[in-house]
Amino acid sequence: MDPLRIDVISVIPGFFDSPLANGLLAIAMKKQYAEIHVHNLHDYGLGRYKQVDDTPFGGGAGMVLRPEPVFACIEKLLAHREYDAVIFPTPDGKPFDQPLANRLSRTKNLMLLCGHYKAVDERIRQKLVTMEVSVGDVVVSGGEIPALLIMDAVLRLIPGVIGDGESALTDSFQTGMLDCVYYTRPAEFRGMKVPDVLMTGHHRNIEKWRHENALQRTLERRPDLLEKKVFEE
């Protein structure tokens, strides 16, 4: 199986140095399940100072990424291969969820455009971006943090990346609910005991308990997930 190639465009490419050298992303590349290439948008900047941003038309606070450097970078990448998606993390995008992560894990080539400053020129979104996603109702300093989240969520689903592949299939949201709680040794700690059913070794009863616990936790913490599950069914 060919590795999933991910091209990341950023104005601060050094942001990715540590994540790409450690943890799951590094493992995915070492095992040759993924190729991650980070591109410095300043390499395509304008003029002596490699400018990539400018003030917004109409005035107002903040700076806006200019279209010329972004078009130059993305069009160069598109000249070499087709991409299943050119993804732009943005607060007004479609919520990034587990089903979407599952779908992206089965692709061949992905591109992530990391926004920065106040915004990106709208023409970039109109002509180049094919998928806009939001990782939550919160604003961060740039698209680098959402890009890392997206890559981690996607790559851990590729069989072989994590040691126990079944673990990823039982995570929260995979079944439309939150996951159940878990315990490990010791069986009793500071007066707190592990539920008896988990100590029995009776797999059917354990699975029943875990399902009921997951259902209860979802009902208490994320009832919207259950409403969505019922609607989809």
Span 2-13, pLDDT tens digits: 999 999 999 999
Model confidence over 69-121: pLDDT tens digits?
999 999 999 999 999 999 999 999 999 999 999 999 999 999 999 999 999 99
Segment 20-46 shows an average pLDDT of: 98
- At residue 41, the pLDDT reads 98
Domain ranges of the chain: 4-155, 170-232
For the domain with range 170-232, which CATH number is right: 2.40.40.20, 1.10.1270.20, 2.60.40.1180, 3.40.50.720?
1.10.1270.20
Please, is 149 exposed, middle or buried when counting C-beta atoms within 10 Å of its C-beta (0-12, 13-18, 19+)? middle
CATH architecture of the region 4-155: 3-Layer(aba) Sandwich (3.40)
- At residue 141, the pLDDT reads 93
% residues pLDDT > 90 (the chain): 91
CA 70 to each of CA 28, 40, 134, 178: distance values in angstroms, whole numbers, following the listed order? 27, 10, 20, 38
Model confidence over 160-185: pLDDT tens digits?
999 765 556 666 677 889 999 999 99
- At residue 129, the pLDDT reads 98
- Residue 159 CA to residue 21 CA, distance in Å, equals 21
Domains 4-155 and 170-232 share a fold: no
3-state secondary structure of 139: coil
- At residue 176, the pLDDT reads 87
pTM assigned to the model: 0.90
- At residue 1, the pLDDT reads 78
- At residue 163, the pLDDT reads 78
Tokens matching residue 177:
């609910």
